[in-house]
Amino acid sequence: MEFFNKKEEVMDLKLTQFGRFLLSKGKFKPVFYSFFDDNILYNVEKVGLSELQNESEIRIKETPTMHHQISFSSLEKEFNSNYNKVLSGEESPVSEDLQRTAEKHYALPQPIGSSDFNSEYSPSWTVNFLNGELTGSVEYLSISEKTGGKNTQIIPQISSTTEIEIQSHTPTTSNSDEYENGFSAADRTVLTDEENLFVLLKLNENNGLFQKKNFDIELYEIEEEDQDGTIIETLRPLFFSSLPDFETAETIVENSIPQEDVTHVEYYFDVFVDDEIDEKTLCNYDPYNKKMGVFADPRTESCQEIIDASKKKNFDIYTDESDYPGEIC
């Protein structure tokens, strides 16, 4: 590690170990860049000092800056673990799962974002549980690494638990094409009510720039490994499958959606967003939606029509007993 020579050095680019590996295989394809300010102290009052406002810029520019650090975990332990995964066929030699969790998620975790110019407040989140319940929350994310330490980031975490009760029946046939893990779909009965089978969230970012695309969704599986009594946690990324183009595709392969691939999200969950969610479901849980930015949402009007239609009930005037006078004396 060394300091930047600001008189001679302007920019310094370094590849991580996994980046070097992809470059050697001809698979290194950068697609975007981000800016970070993790090494800048804006408010010196946080460390018990004081300064004038005009002095902050000079201090930030003149403070020595360290060169990049590209290794945050034990190379030997990571190599042994990944080597065994490749030999056993569990992972491909160029799989993204082999990238070390520390470098991928903790080296540069928080890029500089953007906020609304017309607001004096910092961006914030509003999360509403339209269906399901909040079971817990913490203000940070902490993962135990193979080095024995813990990496902690100030990323708020919320938890929601859904319990699904399934009753299994005795198989009636041994046709392997109809069976998965010894049971077919017909041999399983879901006892949980339909309204308790899913979680419906409404997310809004406050004091930010509302654009056409405002959110990125990433799903990870936390893999736990017992090493001499210490539970080591690794974040394994899950991938969304690319759905076929139903308008141009002449034939659709039945297995084109990898619901049987453990590396894909669809193996575990069905994730729907915005217009992908059934309109009746949205109208039932969130019928009134306000306009966001310059984008108008016609759902409020359409939901009102669905609500009005549900209130119209046909009844027989001859079977209505609400005005029954009682027995004849």
The pLDDT, as a whole number, for residue 201 is: 92
* Region for residue 148 given its phi and psi (left: phi exceeds 0; alpha: psi -120 to 50; beta: otherwise): left
Q: Are 114 and 209 in contact (CB under 8 A)?
A: yes
Sequence ranges of the domains in the chain: 275-314
Nearest Cα residue to 271 out of 220, 217, 222, 235: 217
The 10s digit of each residue's pLDDT in 2-20 is 888 888 887 888 888 788 8
Distance, in Å, from the CA atom of 279 to the CA atom of 300, rounded to the nearest integer, reads 11
Distance, in Å, from the CA atom of 21 to the CA atom of 33, rounded to the nearest integer, reads 19
**pLDDT at position 214 over 60:** yes
**pLDDT at position 183 over 70:** no
The pLDDT, as a whole number, for residue 182 is: 44
What's the mean pLDDT in 63-86?
73
Distance, in Å, from the CA atom of 192 to the CA atom of 163, rounded to the nearest integer, reads 8
Q: Which residues of 270-300 are buried (b: 16+ CB within 10 A; e: fewer)?
A: eeeeeeeeeeeebbbebeeeeeeeeeeeebe
The pLDDT, as a whole number, for residue 290 is: 66
What's the mean pLDDT in 298-313?
66
- Spatial neighbors of 308 by CB under 8 A, at least 6 apart, are none
Averaged confidence pLDDT in the chain: 75
Distance, in Å, from the CA atom of 50 to the CA atom of 141, rounded to the nearest integer, reads 31
- Poorest-pLDDT segment among 2-16, 121-135, 223-237: 223-237
- Spatial neighbors of 187 by CB under 8 A, at least 6 apart, are 168, 169, 170, 171, 172
Distance, in Å, from the CA atom of 218 to the CA atom of 239, rounded to the nearest integer, reads 8
Q: Are 191 and 165 in contact (CB under 8 A)?
A: yes
Three-class SS state of 309: helix
pLDDT tier at 317, thresholds 50, 70, 90: low
The pLDDT, as a whole number, for residue 256 is: 46
Tokens 């080597």 belong to residue: 83
The pLDDT, as a whole number, for residue 218 is: 87
Strands 188-190 and 166-168: antiparallel
**pLDDT at position 297 over 50:** yes
Distance, in Å, from the CA atom of 252 to the CA atom of 249, rounded to the nearest integer, reads 7
The neighbour count for residue 149, using CB atoms within 10 Å, is: 12
Distance, in Å, from the CA atom of 260 to the CA atom of 65, rounded to the nearest integer, reads 48
Tokens 């000079």 belong to residue: 58
Q: Are 202 and 273 in contact (CB under 8 A)?
A: no
